[in-house]
């Protein structure tokens, strides 16, 4: 009930304004006509969190939440162990993603879960190239060619991929953000056909803003998203650049989502991390202390409900 009341309050107090053509026309690398056809993609990344009991509770709350607009896709990236439960109990208009898949197919690869197995299980999505996996955590990180090869294999097996890219703080400060993003995207551009890009979304996640509470300003994020779209146009095709969804994944939260999602080249978010100060009402006098996972799911719902009141400029 508290969740539903919060969503209702948001619907009354926060409305995304119609994006004016005069503002949108100033965005670098934007395509006004094609932007109107790109739905939002709201991804939630649970990372290595959750118990059977907590997931059961979250699924019940999410199933009772309001409708998701037809021009918004919501995908939850869950740990492998929770995927069967979500597939069996979560409402069908919310999709489930794995957070990784193997470089190999089935066979003697102990501990791996391959893309064909994920597809056989009933999944449509997988998150690949997340900065935590590129960097490594107590193990070797994944380089750009490896991430591209995993992405190609996942697409060949019928999955869609949230392909993560992004720079570190020192790279942002050195002015090499696009050099880094281009290096991460280049191996993928070399091996995917134009048609295969229809199964890829690009999740731009500035590493310095993931889980830190720091975030790029809407203008900073828009500039990088527009530059990424320009790179895709130059290195893949204008058709793919106009159509590809580019999500923002750098500590998006209830306080900055409205401004970020109003930008012409930001097509959604990939949300994870511990945001203890998220609130779902502009009239709130203090943070609502909920668990990490409940906040993540509520925030995904929050953004999708708001999509109903936001219309992109159509020229």
223: in domain: yes
40: in domain: yes
Query: What pLDDT digit, counting tens, does each position of 246-261 carry?
Result: 999 988 877 788 889 8
> Active-site residue numbers?
130, 205
What is the domain range of residue 298? 2-309
Distance in angstroms (rounded) separating the CA atoms of residues 279 and 123:
31
Distance in angstroms (rounded) separating the CA atoms of residues 258 and 241:
24
222: in domain: yes
315: in domain: no
Closest among 96, 34, 39 to 229, alpha carbons compared: 34
Distance in angstroms (rounded) separating the CA atoms of residues 153 and 232:
20
Record the pTM: 0.81
What pLDDT, on the 0 to 100 scale, is given for residue 273?
Answer: 53
304: in domain: yes
Give the CATH number for residue 148: 3.20.20.70
What pLDDT, on the 0 to 100 scale, is given for residue 160?
Answer: 98
Q: What is the tally of structural domains in the chain? A: 1
What pLDDT, on the 0 to 100 scale, is given for residue 64?
Answer: 87
79: in domain: yes
- Cα diameter, the chain: 58
314: in domain: no
What pLDDT, on the 0 to 100 scale, is given for residue 239?
Answer: 97
> Can you spell out the DSSP letters for 135-201?
H-SSSPPPPHHHHHHHHHHHHHTT-EEEEEE---HHHHHTT-HHHHHHHHHHHHHHH--TGGGGGEE
What pLDDT, on the 0 to 100 scale, is given for residue 66?
Answer: 82
Q: Parallel, antiparallel, or unpaired for β 200-204 and 160-165?
A: parallel
Q: pLDDT tens digits for the chain (315 residues)?
A: 333 322 222 222 223 322 333 333 334 444 433 444 799 999 999 999 999 999 999 899 889 888 887 788 999 999 999 999 999 999 999 999 999 999 999 999 999 999 999 999 999 999 999 999 999 999 999 999 999 999 999 999 999 999 999 999 999 999 999 999 999 999 999 999 999 999 999 999 999 887 777 778 999 999 999 999 999 999 999 999 999 999 999 888 777 888 898 999 999 999 885 333 333 322 223 333 334 444 444 555 455 444 433 444 333
Q: Which two structure tokens, joined as six digits, stand for 297?
A: 């799911």
272: in domain: yes
What pLDDT, on the 0 to 100 scale, is given for residue 300?
Answer: 52
Q: Parallel, antiparallel, or unpaired for β 40-45 and 94-98?
A: unpaired
What pLDDT, on the 0 to 100 scale, is given for residue 308?
Answer: 37
What pLDDT, on the 0 to 100 scale, is given for residue 109?
Answer: 96
Distance in angstroms (rounded) separating the CA atoms of residues 248 and 253:
11
């Amino acid at each position: 009930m508290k969740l539903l009341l919060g969503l209702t309050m948001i619907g009354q107090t926060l409305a995304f304004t119609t994006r004016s053509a005069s503002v949108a026309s100033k965005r670098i690398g934007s395509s006004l006509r094609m932007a109107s056809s790109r739905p939002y993609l709201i991804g939630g990344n649970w990372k290595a969190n959750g118990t059977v009991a907590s997931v059961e509770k979250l699924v019940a709350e999410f199933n009772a939440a309001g409708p998701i607009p037809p021009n918004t896709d919501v995908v939850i990236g869950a740990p492998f162990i929770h995927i069967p439960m979500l597939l069996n109990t979560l409402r069908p208009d919310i999709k489930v993603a794995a957070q990784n898949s193997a470089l190999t197919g089935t066979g003697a690869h102990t501990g791996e879960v391959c893309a064909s197995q994920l597809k056989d299980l009933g999944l449509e999505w997988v998150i690949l190239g997340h900065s935590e996996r590129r960097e490594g955590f107590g193990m070797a990180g994944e380089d750009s060619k490896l991430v591209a090869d995993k992405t190609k294999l996942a697409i060949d097996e019928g999955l869609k991929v949230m392909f993560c890219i992004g720079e570190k703080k020192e790279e942002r400060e050195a002015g090499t953000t696009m050099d880094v993003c281009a290096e991460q995207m280049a191996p993928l551009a070399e091996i995917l056909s134009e048609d295969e890009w229809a199964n890829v979304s690009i999740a731009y996640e500035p590493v310095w803003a993931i889980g830190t509470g720091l975030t790029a300003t809407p203008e900073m994020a828009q500039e990088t998203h527009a530059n990424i779209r320009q790179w895709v146009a130059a290195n893949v095709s204008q058709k793919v650049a106009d159509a590809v969804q580019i999500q923002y994944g750098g500590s998006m939260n209830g306080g900055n989502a409205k401004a970020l999602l109003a930008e012409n080249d930001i097509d959604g978010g990939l949300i994870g991390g511990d945001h203890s100060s998220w609130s779902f009402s502009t009239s709130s006098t203090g943070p609502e202390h909920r668990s990490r996972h409940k906040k993540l799911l509520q925030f995904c719902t929050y953004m999708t409900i708001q999509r109903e009141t936001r219309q992109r400029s159509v020229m």
